[in-house]
Structure 1
Amino acid sequence: MHYTLSEDIKHILLALLIGALIGAEREYRSKSAGLRTMILVSLGACLFTILSIRIGNSSSPDRIAANIITGIGFLGAGVIFKDESRVTGITTATTIWMVAALGMAIGSGHYQAAFVGTVAVLIVLAFLAPLQSVFERFNRSRHYRIVCPYRNSSLSKYEELFRKHKLKASRGRQSRSGGLIEGNWEVQGPDRNHEKVIQQLLKDPDIHEFDF
Structure 2
Amino acid sequence: MNFTLHYETFTILLVAFLLGAIIGYERQYRQRTAGLRTNTLVATSAAIFVHLAMSIDGAGGAVRVISYVVSGVGFLGAGTIMKEGLNIRGLNTAATLWGSAAVGACAGAGMIADACMATFFVVASNTLLRPMVNMINRQPLTDEHGDATYEICVIALENDQREALSLVKRTLKAENCFMSHLDVEPFGDDDVEITVSLIPASVSADDLDNLVNVLLDERLIKQAYYSRIGGSSS
Structure 2 residue aligned with 1:184, among 188, 197, 205? 197
Match of 2:72 in 1: 71
Q: What is the TM-score with the length of structure 2 in the denominator?
A: 0.63
Q: TM-score, normalised by structure 1?
A: 0.69
Could you tell me which residue of structure 1 aligns to residue 136 of structure 2? 135
The structure-2 alpha-carbon separation of the partners of 1:175 and 1:130, relative to structure 1 and needing over 3 Å to count, comes to same
1:159 corresponds in structure 2 to none
1:41 aligned partner, one-letter code: V
Which position in structure 1 is the counterpart of 2:216?
Answer: none
Q: Any conservation in 2 of the 1:175–1:183 contact (CA below 8 Å)?
A: yes
What's the CA shift for 1:121?
A: 1.1
C-alpha contact (below 8 Å) 1:84/1:143 kept by paired residues: no
Asked if the contact 1:150–1:176 (Cα under 8 Å) also holds between the matched residues in 2, the reply is: no
Deviation at 1:182, TM superposition (A): 1.1
Q: Deviations over 1:82-108 (max 9, x none)?
A: 121111111110110111011010111
Q: Distance in 2 between matches of 1:58 and 1:89?
A: 33
- Offset, 1:149: 3.5
Cross-structure match for 2:121: 120
The one-letter amino acid of 2:15's match is L
Structure 2 Cα separation of the partners of residues 141 and 31 of structure 1 = 28
Once residues 18 and 147 of structure 2 are traced to their aligned partners in structure 1, the CA distance between those partners, rounded to angstroms, is 37
Which structure has the larger Rg over C-alpha atoms? Answer: 2
CA drift of 1:148 comes to 6.2
Matched pairs, number? 173
Structure 2 residue identity aligned to 1:20: A
Instruction: After TM superposition, give the deviation of residue 58 of structure 1 in Å.
Output: 7.8
1:71 partner letter: G
Task: Report deviation, 1:46.
Answer: 0.5
User: Residues 58 and 99 of structure 1: is their aligned pair in 2 closer, same or farther, counting only changes over 3 Å?
Assistant: closer
Bigger mean CA offset, 178-187 vs 77-86:
178-187
- What's 1:47 paired with? 48
Q: Any idea what SS the aligned residue of 2:196 has? A: strand
Shift of 1:179: 3.8
Q: CA deviation at 1:147?
A: 5.4
Work out the CA distance in 2 between the residues paired with 1:119 and 1:32: 21
Match of 1:89 in 2: 90
Partner in structure 2 of residue 199 of structure 1:
none
After TM superposition, give the deviation of residue 181 of structure 1 in Å: 2.4
1:172 match:
179
Indicate if the aligned counterparts of 2:28 and 2:35 stay in contact, CA closer than 8 A: yes
User: What SS class does the counterpart of residue 133 from structure 2 fall into?
Assistant: helix
Instruction: List alignment gaps of at least 5 residues for structure 2.
Output: 158-176, 186-190, 202-224
* Superposition deviation, residue 61 in structure 1: 4.8
Distance 1:88 1:11 in 2: 33
Unaligned 5+ segments in structure 1 are 152-169, 189-206
